[in-house]
Protein backbone atom coordinates (compact mmCIF):
# COMPACT_ATOMS: atom_id res chain seq x y z
CA UNK A 1 0.00 0.00 0.00
CA UNK A 2 1.36 3.41 -0.98
CA UNK A 3 1.70 6.31 1.44
CA UNK A 4 -1.09 8.14 -0.42
CA UNK A 5 -3.45 5.17 -0.12
CA UNK A 6 -2.73 4.81 3.59
CA UNK A 7 -3.37 8.54 4.20
CA UNK A 8 -6.62 8.33 2.24
CA UNK A 9 -7.88 5.35 4.24
CA UNK A 10 -6.99 7.12 7.49
CA UNK A 11 -8.91 10.18 6.33
CA UNK A 12 -11.97 8.10 5.44
CA UNK A 13 -11.90 6.36 8.82
CA UNK A 14 -11.54 9.65 10.68
CA UNK A 15 -14.46 11.14 8.75
CA UNK A 16 -16.56 8.05 9.48
CA UNK A 17 -15.88 8.30 13.22
CA UNK A 18 -16.71 12.03 13.20
CA UNK A 19 -20.05 11.41 11.51
CA UNK A 20 -20.88 8.54 13.88
CA UNK A 21 -20.21 10.84 16.83
CA UNK A 22 -22.72 13.35 15.45
CA UNK A 23 -25.23 10.55 14.81
CA UNK A 24 -24.96 9.46 18.46
CA UNK A 25 -25.60 13.07 19.50
CA UNK A 26 -28.91 13.21 17.63
CA UNK A 27 -27.89 14.49 14.20
CA UNK A 28 -29.75 12.87 11.30
CA UNK A 29 -28.04 11.83 8.05
CA UNK A 30 -29.68 10.82 4.78
CA UNK A 31 -26.38 9.16 3.85
CA UNK A 32 -23.78 9.16 6.59
CA UNK A 33 -21.04 8.20 4.14
CA UNK A 34 -21.67 11.22 1.91
CA UNK A 35 -21.16 14.06 4.40
CA UNK A 36 -17.77 15.74 4.86
CA UNK A 37 -17.52 17.24 8.35
CA UNK A 38 -14.38 18.54 10.06
CA UNK A 39 -13.61 17.34 13.59
CA UNK A 40 -14.01 20.89 14.91
CA UNK A 41 -17.62 21.35 13.71
CA UNK A 42 -20.46 21.46 16.27
CA UNK A 43 -23.99 20.37 15.22
CA UNK A 44 -27.14 20.53 17.35
CA UNK A 45 -29.60 17.71 17.97
CA UNK A 46 -32.31 17.15 15.38
CA UNK A 47 -30.44 18.76 12.49
CA UNK A 48 -30.73 16.90 9.19
CA UNK A 49 -27.68 16.58 6.93
CA UNK A 50 -28.29 15.76 3.27
CA UNK A 51 -25.73 14.07 0.98
CA UNK A 52 -22.69 15.95 -0.36
CA UNK A 53 -22.70 18.52 2.45
CA UNK A 54 -19.31 19.99 3.44
CA UNK A 55 -18.90 21.57 6.90
CA UNK A 56 -15.51 23.08 7.63
CA UNK A 57 -13.47 24.86 10.29
CA UNK A 58 -15.12 26.27 13.41
CA UNK A 59 -18.65 26.03 12.07
CA UNK A 60 -21.42 25.79 14.66
CA UNK A 61 -24.92 24.67 13.64
CA UNK A 62 -27.91 24.88 15.96
CA UNK A 63 -30.72 22.40 16.59
CA UNK A 64 -33.40 21.25 14.14
CA UNK A 65 -31.76 22.73 11.05
CA UNK A 66 -31.89 21.34 7.52
CA UNK A 67 -28.62 21.45 5.59
CA UNK A 68 -29.54 20.57 2.02
CA UNK A 69 -27.62 18.72 -0.64
CA UNK A 70 -24.39 20.27 -1.99
CA UNK A 71 -24.21 22.96 0.68
CA UNK A 72 -20.83 24.16 1.97
CA UNK A 73 -20.45 26.04 5.25
CA UNK A 74 -17.07 27.36 6.43
CA UNK A 75 -16.26 28.99 9.79
CA UNK A 76 -19.85 30.17 10.23
CA UNK A 77 -22.48 30.20 12.97
CA UNK A 78 -25.93 28.90 12.06
CA UNK A 79 -28.71 29.35 14.62
CA UNK A 80 -31.49 26.81 15.25
CA UNK A 81 -34.29 25.95 12.82
CA UNK A 82 -32.43 27.31 9.80
CA UNK A 83 -32.94 25.79 6.35
CA UNK A 84 -30.06 25.93 3.88
CA UNK A 85 -30.55 24.53 0.39
CA UNK A 86 -27.62 23.98 -2.01
CA UNK A 87 -25.79 27.13 -0.91
CA UNK A 88 -22.35 28.33 0.23
CA UNK A 89 -21.86 30.25 3.48
CA UNK A 90 -18.40 31.53 4.36
CA UNK A 91 -17.34 33.17 7.65
CA UNK A 92 -20.80 34.57 8.39
CA UNK A 93 -23.72 34.22 10.80
CA UNK A 94 -27.31 33.12 10.06
CA UNK A 95 -30.13 33.87 12.51
CA UNK A 96 -32.82 31.48 13.71
CA UNK A 97 -35.59 30.30 11.36
CA UNK A 98 -33.96 31.90 8.32
CA UNK A 99 -34.09 30.22 4.91
CA UNK A 100 -31.10 30.33 2.57
CA UNK A 101 -31.06 29.16 -1.05
CA UNK A 102 -31.17 27.32 -3.22
CA UNK A 103 -27.95 28.50 -4.89
CA UNK A 104 -27.31 31.44 -2.57
CA UNK A 105 -23.79 32.67 -1.82
CA UNK A 106 -23.14 34.30 1.56
CA UNK A 107 -19.62 35.70 1.53
CA UNK A 108 -17.42 36.61 4.53
CA UNK A 109 -18.45 39.14 7.18
CA UNK A 110 -22.17 38.88 6.52
CA UNK A 111 -24.69 38.84 9.36
CA UNK A 112 -28.15 37.57 8.43
CA UNK A 113 -30.88 38.06 11.05
CA UNK A 114 -33.78 35.90 12.19
CA UNK A 115 -36.76 34.88 10.02
CA UNK A 116 -35.03 36.15 6.88
CA UNK A 117 -35.11 34.89 3.31
CA UNK A 118 -31.96 34.81 1.20
CA UNK A 119 -33.28 33.10 -1.90
CA UNK A 120 -32.08 31.58 -5.13
CA UNK A 121 -29.09 33.21 -6.82
CA UNK A 122 -28.77 35.87 -4.12
CA UNK A 123 -25.23 36.94 -3.18
CA UNK A 124 -24.48 38.70 0.12
CA UNK A 125 -21.06 40.17 0.87
CA UNK A 126 -19.86 42.04 3.96
CA UNK A 127 -23.42 43.09 4.83
CA UNK A 128 -25.93 43.07 7.66
CA UNK A 129 -29.48 41.89 7.04
CA UNK A 130 -32.08 42.71 9.70
CA UNK A 131 -34.71 40.39 11.15
CA UNK A 132 -37.56 39.53 8.80
CA UNK A 133 -35.95 41.01 5.69
CA UNK A 134 -36.22 39.23 2.34
CA UNK A 135 -34.25 38.99 -0.87
CA UNK A 136 -36.03 36.15 -2.60
CA UNK A 137 -34.09 35.89 -5.85
CA UNK A 138 -31.44 37.24 -8.23
CA UNK A 139 -30.05 40.01 -6.02
CA UNK A 140 -26.55 41.26 -5.18
CA UNK A 141 -26.10 42.76 -1.70
CA UNK A 142 -22.57 44.08 -1.25
CA UNK A 143 -21.30 46.33 1.56
CA UNK A 144 -24.82 47.12 2.78
CA UNK A 145 -26.59 47.67 6.08
CA UNK A 146 -30.20 46.54 5.72
CA UNK A 147 -32.74 47.04 8.48
CA UNK A 148 -35.60 44.83 9.63
CA UNK A 149 -38.67 44.05 7.53
CA UNK A 150 -37.08 45.17 4.26
CA UNK A 151 -38.16 43.65 0.94
CA UNK A 152 -35.64 43.56 -1.92
CA UNK A 153 -37.26 42.73 -5.26
CA UNK A 154 -35.85 40.51 -7.98
CA UNK A 155 -32.75 41.91 -9.66
CA UNK A 156 -31.82 44.54 -7.06
CA UNK A 157 -28.12 45.44 -7.19
CA UNK A 158 -26.11 47.32 -4.59
CA UNK A 159 -23.55 49.08 -6.79
CA UNK A 160 -20.78 49.21 -4.21
CA UNK A 161 -17.62 49.71 -6.32
CA UNK A 162 -16.87 52.95 -8.14
CA UNK A 163 -13.75 51.66 -9.86
CA UNK A 164 -11.46 52.70 -7.02
CA UNK A 165 -13.24 52.36 -3.66
CA UNK A 166 -15.90 50.19 -2.05
CA UNK A 167 -18.79 52.20 -0.59
CA UNK A 168 -21.65 51.24 1.74
CA UNK A 169 -25.38 51.73 1.36
CA UNK A 170 -28.01 51.74 4.12
CA UNK A 171 -31.62 50.63 3.72
CA UNK A 172 -33.61 51.30 6.88
CA UNK A 173 -36.47 49.33 8.45
CA UNK A 174 -39.64 48.39 6.54
CA UNK A 175 -38.52 49.81 3.20
CA UNK A 176 -39.48 48.33 -0.17
CA UNK A 177 -37.00 48.21 -3.05
CA UNK A 178 -38.65 47.35 -6.37
CA UNK A 179 -37.37 44.90 -8.97
CA UNK A 180 -34.33 45.78 -11.11
CA UNK A 181 -33.29 48.69 -8.92
CA UNK A 182 -29.66 49.86 -8.78
CA UNK A 183 -28.61 51.47 -5.49
CA UNK A 184 -25.42 53.36 -6.37
CA UNK A 185 -23.38 53.54 -3.17
CA UNK A 186 -23.10 55.46 -0.99
CA UNK A 187 -26.82 56.18 -0.56
CA UNK A 188 -29.34 55.88 2.25
CA UNK A 189 -32.95 54.76 1.92
CA UNK A 190 -34.95 55.89 4.96
CA UNK A 191 -37.53 53.98 6.99
CA UNK A 192 -40.72 52.86 5.22
CA UNK A 193 -39.55 54.38 1.93
CA UNK A 194 -40.49 52.89 -1.44
CA UNK A 195 -38.25 52.72 -4.50
CA UNK A 196 -40.05 52.07 -7.78
CA UNK A 197 -39.02 49.13 -9.97
CA UNK A 198 -36.37 49.91 -12.56
CA UNK A 199 -34.92 52.88 -10.70
CA UNK A 200 -31.26 53.85 -10.49
CA UNK A 201 -30.85 55.61 -7.16
CA UNK A 202 -27.90 58.01 -6.71
CA UNK A 203 -29.26 60.27 -3.95
CA UNK A 204 -30.65 59.59 -0.48
CA UNK A 205 -34.34 58.69 -0.23
CA UNK A 206 -36.08 60.24 2.81
CA UNK A 207 -38.18 58.13 5.16
CA UNK A 208 -41.75 57.52 4.05
CA UNK A 209 -41.19 58.80 0.52
CA UNK A 210 -41.46 57.28 -2.95
CA UNK A 211 -38.44 57.38 -5.26
CA UNK A 212 -38.95 56.99 -9.01
CA UNK A 213 -35.63 57.27 -10.85
CA UNK A 214 -36.19 56.05 -14.40
CA UNK A 215 -36.95 57.43 -17.84
CA UNK A 216 -40.53 58.35 -18.66
CA UNK A 217 -42.21 55.76 -20.87
CA UNK A 218 -42.93 56.91 -24.42
CA UNK A 219 -45.26 55.11 -26.85
CA UNK A 220 -45.17 55.99 -30.57
CA UNK A 221 -48.37 54.81 -32.27
CA UNK A 222 -48.03 53.26 -35.73
CA UNK A 223 -44.21 53.27 -35.63
CA UNK A 224 -43.83 49.62 -36.73
CA UNK A 225 -46.08 50.03 -39.76
CA UNK A 226 -44.39 53.26 -40.85
CA UNK A 227 -41.01 51.58 -40.70
CA UNK A 228 -42.25 48.76 -42.89
CA UNK A 229 -41.53 46.11 -40.28
CA UNK A 230 -44.90 44.32 -40.25
CA UNK A 231 -44.01 41.93 -43.09
CA UNK A 232 -40.59 40.94 -41.87
pLDDT tier at 17 (50, 70, 90 boundaries)? very high
Give the model's pLDDT for residue 232: 59
Whole-prediction pTM value?
0.93
Q: How is domain 18-137 classified at the CATH fold level?
A: UDP N-Acetylglucosamine Acyltransferase; domain 1 (2.160.10)
Q: What positions carry a catalytic annotation?
A: 137
**3-state per-residue secondary structure call for the chain:** CCHHHHHHHHHHHHHHHHHHHHHHCCCEECCHHHEEECCCCEECCCCEECCCEEEECCCEECCCCEECCCCEEECCEECCCCEECCCEEECCEECCCCEECCCCEECCCCEECCCCEEEECCEEECCEECCCCEEEECCEEECEEECCCCEECCCCEEECECCCCECCEEECCCCEECCCCEEECCCEECCCCEECCCCEECCCECCCCEECCCCCCCCCCCHHHHCCCCCC
Average pLDDT over residues 19-48: 97
pLDDT, one tens digit per residue, over 75-96 is 999 999 999 999 999 999 999 9
pLDDT, one tens digit per residue, over 109-160 is 999 999 999 999 999 999 999 999 999 999 999 999 999 999 999 999 999 9
pLDDT at 1 over 90: no
Amino acid sequence: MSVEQKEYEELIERRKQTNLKHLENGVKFLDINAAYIDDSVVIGRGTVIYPCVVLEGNTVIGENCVIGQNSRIVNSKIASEVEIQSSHILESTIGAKTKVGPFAYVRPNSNIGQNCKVGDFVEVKNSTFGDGSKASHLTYIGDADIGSGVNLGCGVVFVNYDGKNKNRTTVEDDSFIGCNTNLVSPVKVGKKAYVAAGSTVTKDVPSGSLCVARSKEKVIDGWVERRGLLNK
